[in-house]
Copies of this chain bind each other. A is one copy, B any other.
């Protein structure tokens, strides 16, 4: 039996999350205030604690949402490229660009997940699964079309469960290019490339290409599109 109370609860809960997302996007994570959210949804400040146990819990929910939104965007771009019959490199490029595009469109959300963690904040368990989606996409492409190329000697120890089904010889390389992708987008977003890199879009393409070489994706005929 769905009671009127349960329905009302879901409505308010959704309203709270929606408003929180709005304020996060507009003012950033540091300025996100439970009182302000409560006010905006028509609640008195103390009543919001019936729906969210603390500010940190709210942030955790937003983190999960952000990871999922980014992962979904990247996966959608990958699927679209696949459907269009794109080459491995074409799909690779599509994923890289999708991550950058999403980050530029949602800077506060991106900063929330890839910026400095709040001190004393340990990422809860529910954040780890969505956090791996983008990395997994890269791993999938590498696993299908990459090959270990002669690189630096013995690869360091990687937790085997992290990338099952992937040739252990390219696992470190996969993690390195994943780092490069997020690092490059972060540097652009966080202003580190100001007065350094002018054309950021084509710079990302350049880095994506170099990364594709590094993990041994087959070379294309025409070069970047």
Contact = CB atoms under 8 A, between A and B. Distances in A.
Interface stretch (A26-34, A40-48, A69-77): A26-34
A119 B27 contact: yes
Copies in the complex: 2
Contact of A180 (B122, B155, B161, B180): B180
Q: In this complex, which of A156, A184, A223 has the most chain B Cβ atoms within 10 angstroms of its Cβ?
A: A156
Contacts of A30: 30, 118-119
Interface residues of A, number: 61
Contact of A197 (B152, B156, B192): B156
Interface in A133-173: 151-153, 155-159, 161-162, 172-173
A205 interface: yes
A198 B159 contact: yes
Nearest to A190: B117
B196 A158 contact: yes
Among A159, A184, A196, max chain B CB count under 10 A is at A196
Output the residue of A116, A175, A207 with the most chain B CB within 10 A: A116
A206 B156 contact: yes
Nearest to A223: B153
Contact of A176 (B115, B119, B173, B207): B207
Contacts of A82: none
Nearest to A32: B119
Given A108-B119, A152-B206, 5 more contacts: A29-B119, A156-B205, A156-B206, A176-B210, A186-B186
